[in-house]
């Protein structure tokens, strides 16, 4: 439903609202492991407006860069004065935004950006 609504908003020129709606649809589909639906969302949205282009928060990017350097979640948590669960949350959110299922895949996508 959010995919349809997002596409309708996009056709009406409401890019901000459409982006929010499509981003939510993509995250939900990704969280559910619905690869078919995530592929449909990526295919239906123009390249300039894909959910993965929404961008990482500075903290998500910082943590994923530390993951890329080989640090574990507990090490990152100690270094940034966060709880390991908070670090894991940032890693999961960053992976979802990048459209990844694994940490190595997220690191690869991050370095491609």
The residue ranges of the chain whose pLDDT is under 50 are 47-54
Instruction: Indicate whether 80 and 48 sit together in one domain.
Output: no
Whether 72 and 106 map to the same domain: the answer is yes
* Domain hosting residue 101, numbered range: 55-112
Question: Tell me, what's the pLDDT at 47?
Answer: 47
Q: How far is CA 70 from the centre of its chain?
A: 20
Which CATH number do you get for residue 100? 1.10.10.10
pLDDT at position 85 is: 95
Q: Do 35 and 58 touch, CB atoms closer than 8 A?
A: no
Same domain, 44 and 26: yes
Whole-angstrom distance, CA of residue 91 vs CA of residue 59 = 10
| Total number of domains constituting the chain | 2
- The pLDDT value recorded for residue 44 is 66
Q: Are 6 and 49 found together in one domain?
A: yes
Whether 60 and 103 share a structural domain: yes
Q: What does 12-80 look like in DSSP terms, one character per residue?
A: TT-HHHHHHHHHHHHHHHHHTT-HHHHHHHHHHS-GGG-GGGG---HHHHHHHHHHHTT--HHHHHHHH
């Amino acid at each position: 439903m959010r995919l349809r609504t997002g596409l309708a908003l996009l056709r009406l020129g409401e890019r901000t609202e459409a982006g929010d709606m499509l981003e939510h649809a993509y995250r939900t589909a990704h969280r559910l492991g619905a690869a078919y639906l995530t592929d449909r969302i990526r295919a239906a949205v123009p390249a300039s407006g894909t959910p993965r282009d929404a961008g990482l928060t500075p903290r998500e990017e910082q943590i994923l860069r530390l993951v890329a350097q080989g640090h574990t979640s507990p090490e990152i948590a100690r270094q940034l004065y966060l709880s390991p669960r908070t670090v894991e949350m940032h890693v999961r959110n960053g992976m979802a935004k990048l459209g990844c299922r694994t940490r190595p895949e997220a690191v690869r996508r991050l370095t491609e950006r």
